Amino acid sequence: MTATLFVAGMSHRTAPVEVREVLALEEDKLREVLAVLGADGPAAELMILSTCNRVEVYGVADVPGEARAAAFRALGAHRGVTLAAVEPLLVTATQEEAVRHAFRVAASLDSLVVGEPQILGQVKDAFALAQACRTVGPVLSALMSQAFSVAKRVRTETEVGRLAVSVSSTAVELARKIFGSLEGKGVLLLGAGEMAELAARLLMESGAMPLYVANRTAARARDLAQALAGTAVAMSDVPAMMARVDVVIAATAAPEPVVRVADARAAAHARGARPLFLIDLGVPRNVEAAVNHLDGVFCYDVDDLQQVVEANLRERQREAQRAESLVEREVAKFLARLRDVEVVPTIVSLRERLEAIRRGELDKALARLPGASEETRQVLEALSQSIVNKVLHTPIEKLRDSSRAGHGRRWIEVVSEVFGLRPGDRPDR
């Protein structure tokens, strides 16, 4: 029976989070599941990808349905969930569709937010865990190796992952456009909200520094400043600080603006030609709207940032179309490679068989020529190798060609029969 490459599971597209979260196991539990399935399961190869958005089993099995059932029965057993409860939500793809799915997942084309970078690391972690549990073989190894390559090409050859799609990352992207480089750009953080903290961290990761934190509660300002390796300042010092820093992130819960036009005008005057960038994440807004009319002052509120996010998402979708074309080309390459994998064991056995014959006959010939010179021995060695290579050429080419044409199995049997290869040498798939 021919083994089949398959992927089965559920994702954010097919199952609600309350179901996905039940089957999403910790690494130690996944290790237990792989150990059990690897030892006694119906799959020759197996890998489990478990994230907040998907739980998928990649495998190679004679009967994919049995392997899928065994895998999800084992996953559910850890949380008291029966196979029958999740079966209607499972989706299965085999061979070409499975390859395409693996490439699209690794390249983040199947993600909730297309182009997000985390999924590739999660796929790599899943593969590494399966390797550690010795549940992957030549097919899944080849599949994942090419999936990682495809993901890298999608990221470097398209714009899918380059456009910011969160408010915080968009703010940083806009700051980079205004200043070019963020190296050494000072940042003033007003408030201590989660979104503002994330934007500050992203700015600092891009080289922005120093960081100052002002908050209505001084203790909170000190704590956050310490966490971000910054300096706490008093709210009363904010107008003066705006003249010193380059980026102001305002994210307070104040019912009225905390950055007034007069303060921003004074700061702009003191800065001369140096621009001032204000990111207003507050609702109600923390910065008076008229600030944006001042020369050299750029202010974006949450609606402005959200418009940029939506534009970037649309652009990502357009870039995703280019990425899909790249994936299709790589799927065709992998399928050809997969078919080669099918005949490789027979080719290896064939070479070993003829090499054993060559070596045996050469030893017999040399035994009859005890006085043969080194030159004669080398000539006989080269002659016998040449004969073997010529004999092997046609059957090996035939095996490869027929495999790529989808008829590899028949020629595997023919070659094995003609050259007397042992049944154990014949590949199962």
Nearest to 165 by CA among 153, 177, 173: 173
What is the C-alpha to C-alpha distance for residues 115 and 199, in angstroms, rounded to an integer? 20
Q: What is the 3-state secondary structure (H, E, C) of 268-282?
A: HHHHCCCCEEEEECC
Q: Which residues of 148-178 are buried (b: 16+ CB within 10 A; e: fewer)?
A: bebbebbbeebbbbebbbbbbbbbbbbbbee
What type of residue sits at position 241?
M
Task: Map tokens 């061979």 to a residue.
Answer: 95
Using alpha carbons only, give the angle 115, 119, 124 rounded to the nearest 5 degrees.
135
What type of residue sits at position 424?
G
| 52 is annotated as an active-site residue | yes
Task: Map tokens 């007069």 to a residue.
Answer: 262
- How many C-beta atoms lie closer than 10 Å to residue 204's C-beta? 19
Using alpha carbons only, give the angle 335, 336, 338 rounded to the nearest 5 degrees.
60
Q: Which residues, other chains included, contact 334 with Cβ-Cβ below 8 Å and sequence gap of 6+?
A: 99, 103, 142, 143, 146
Maximum pairwise Cα distance, the chain? 107
Nearest to 107 by CA among 319, 327, 317: 327
What 8-state DSSP symbol labels residue 244? T
Q: Which residues, other chains included, contact 114 with Cβ-Cβ below 8 Å and sequence gap of 6+?
A: 108, 160, 313, 316, 317, 320
Residues 94, 61 contacting (CB under 8 angstroms): no
**Which entry of 52, 112, 240, 369 is annotated as an active-site residue?**
52
What type of residue sits at position 418?
V
Tokens of 428: 């199962």
Q: Active-site positions?
A: 52
